[in-house]
Amino acid sequence: MPPGAAPIRRPPPELAFETPSLPRRLLSRYLVNPVANCIPAGLLRALLRFAKSQLAEANWIEPGGWRSMVISYNGCCQQVADRILVNAGIVPMALRNRKRLAAHLIAKLIEQSGARTPHVLCLGAGPGWIVMDALAQTHTPARATLVDLSAEALAFGRRLASERGLEGRVEFIQADIRQLDGQPIDPPDLVKMVGICEYLSDEQVVAAAREVGRMMRPGKPIIFSSVSCTHGAEPFLRRVLGLHLTYRSPVAACRLAGRAGFGDFEVYPEPLGVYHVIVGRRRCGAGA
Ligand SMILES: C[S@@+](CC[C@H](N)C(=O)[O-])C[C@H]1O[C@@H](n2cnc3c(N)ncnc32)[C@H](O)[C@@H]1O
């Protein structure tokens, strides 16, 4: 099936997704976003600094990095400004939806893998929150290897693994996913690239997916994600928080994975339509 024809799958109804009420959506679309998008960025940054926003500070240190993601995943913040941004903002809500959806799909793929101890390779894994959620959702004794540039993200991940009783099942490798050659990585039964492609150019996504494709047997799955700018807060995220994401449609994301030797895509939108989680399969005889 060509990437453009990837079927759209309905996310499982049992997942507790977050969706704003209709009045809140309208308020965001017609008042909050337009105002936040056009107030001078310097003024908004000063307000966020005054309000001691940890979410804003995390983004200023590393735009869209693992710290800001952990704050959005956690959902409970000390500062009032963060409570508003994290709980009422469409993007943090969509991020939590993506986390739930991806963890659920990874747990299912682990169960379907047929391997005795399925190995999940996570690229740009951050602290590995999503894959640890997935490991906790299945009785299959899977293990995971997390690859990330950030030593701090991996240190946070080690603590998370220990808190969740997952020591020995999660391995941590500090590396650039654009240079995986020579890293001690066992062949994966599943590759996860959720929450990384939006920080990479098209060529970098293709190169990284091609590299892991070389380690995978035909038919093995890859799970990745795309982000669209339908949330309406793109100017705010870019001007105020410094976030420069690469927005792609799910079709464009599938095309990139197709160029790297993957096919048979299935596309799962989270209910806000900001993120799509996509599952593909290593094609038979795909040139590496
Ligand atoms: C926003 S976080 C997402 C973490 C995780 N994928 C998730 O969705 O929860 C992006 C992570 O990608 C990592 N990263 C970005 N570029 C990378 C690269 N070239 N190689 C390895 N890690 C990278 C960052 O250090 C960061 O931890």
In a domain, 51, yes or no: yes
**CA nearest to 100, candidates 130, 65, 64, 120:** 130
CB contact at 8 A, 82 and 53: yes
Q: Where are the beta strands (DSSP E) in 96-200?
A: 119-123, 143-148, 170-174, 190-193
Mutational pocket test of ligand 1: of 129, 145, 152, 196, the residue with most ligand atoms within 8 Å of the beta carbon:
196
Whether residue 219 sits in one domain with residue 205: yes
Expressed as residue numbers, the domain containing 113 is: 95-282
Q: Is 149 in the pocket of ligand 1 (CB under 6 A)?
A: yes
CB contact at 8 A, 169 and 120: no
> What is the Å distance from ligand 1's center to 5 Cα?
29
Mutational pocket test of ligand 1: of 55, 66, 121, 192, the residue with most ligand atoms within 8 Å of the beta carbon:
66
CB contact at 8 A, 255 and 202: no
**What's the domain count of the chain?**
2
Residue at a domain's end among 40, 72, 92: 92
In a domain, 14, yes or no: no
At residue 83, the 3 state secondary structure works out as helix
Two structure tokens written together for 155? 């240190």
pLDDT at 128 over 70: yes
At residue 64, the 3 state secondary structure works out as coil
Ligand 1 atom closest to 66 (CA) = 2
pLDDT for res 2: 55
pLDDT in tens, 45-85: 999 999 999 999 999 999 989 999 999 999 878 899 999 89
Q: Is 176 in the pocket of ligand 1 (CB under 6 A)?
A: yes
Q: Is 126 in the pocket of ligand 1 (CB under 6 A)?
A: yes
pLDDT at 14 over 90: no
Q: How long, in residues, is the chain?
A: 288
Neighbours of 181 (CB within 10 A): 7
> What is the Å distance from ligand 1's center to 65 Cα?
7
pLDDT at 287 over 70: no
Whether residue 48 sits in one domain with residue 170: no
pLDDT in tens, 140-168: 999 999 999 999 999 999 999 999 999 99
Whether residue 275 sits in one domain with residue 133: yes
Instruction: Report in angstroms the alpha-carbon separations of 153 from 46, 68, 166, 223.
Output: 27, 11, 17, 21
Dihedral Cα 17, 20, 22, 27, nearest 10 deg: -160
Whether residue 99 sits in one domain with residue 64: no
Whether residue 118 sits in one domain with residue 72: no
Residue 144 backbone phi and psi in degrees, to 5: -135, 150
Ligand 1 atom closest to 73 (CA) = 9
Q: Distance between CA atoms of 128 and 14, rounded to whole angstroms?
A: 23
Residue at a domain's end among 72, 92, 112: 92
> What is the Å distance from ligand 1's center to 48 Cα?
25
Whether residue 108 sits in one domain with residue 88: no
Name the residue with higher pLDDT: 88 or 196. 196
Q: Is 178 in the pocket of ligand 1 (CB under 6 A)?
A: yes
Find tokens 């590396």 and name the residue.
Answer: 175
Q: Distance between CA atoms of 117 and 141, rounded to whole angstroms?
A: 5
> Can you say how many angstroms the Cα of residue 141 is from the centroid of all Cα atoms in its chain?
23
Whether residue 149 sits in one domain with residue 50: no
> What is the Å distance from ligand 1's center to 171 Cα?
16
Q: Where are the beta strands (DSSP E) in 132-174?
A: 143-148, 170-174
Q: How confident is the model at residue 24 (pLDDT cuts 50, 70, 90)?
A: confident
For ligand 1, atom 8, which residue shows the shortest CA distance? 195
CATH of the domain at 145: 3.40.50.150
Ligand 1 atom closest to 204 (CA) = 19
CA angle 57, 60, 63 (to 5 degrees): 120
> What is the Å distance from ligand 1's center to 148 Cα?
6
Q: How confident is the model at residue 12 (pLDDT cuts 50, 70, 90)?
A: confident
In a domain, 16, yes or no: no
**CA nearest to 241, candidates 27, 21, 81:** 81
